[in-house]
Amino acid sequence: MSMVRKLHPHIAKDLREFLSENNISTKKLVIDLEAETIEDYDDYSVDDILSVAGILKPGEAQQLLDHIQESREGWGK
């Protein structure tokens, strides 16, 4: 079970600056201190999208992935 905690405004400001300096524009992140990594947090994974898309015909999966990629190209700009 995860617990949400409010950040001190100074810490939030410092984190925003760090993320900006490292060209990270995602609003939600997973910070793994043990692995020393920062991972983008997607609300939906490709598997989630494909599961709601139903059964796809050959080639439709790639078209869907291409469309998703094109849609995400403008994010963070």
Per DSSP, the residues of 13-63 read: HHHHHHHHHTT---SSEEEETTTTEEEE--SS-HHHHHHHH-SPPTTHHHH
Which residue segment(s) compose the domain that 70 sits in? 43-77
* Whether residue 18 sits in one domain with residue 53: no
Give me the number of domains the chain comprises.
Answer: 2
| Average pLDDT estimate for 45-64 | 70
Q: Which position has the higher pLDDT, 58 or 14? A: 14
CB 16 within 8 A of CB 8: no
pLDDT in tens, 2-30: 777 888 999 989 988 998 898 888 778 88
- Read off the tokens for 27: 């609003």
* Whether residue 32 sits in one domain with residue 5: yes
* Whether residue 37 sits in one domain with residue 54: no
* Whether residue 22 sits in one domain with residue 47: no
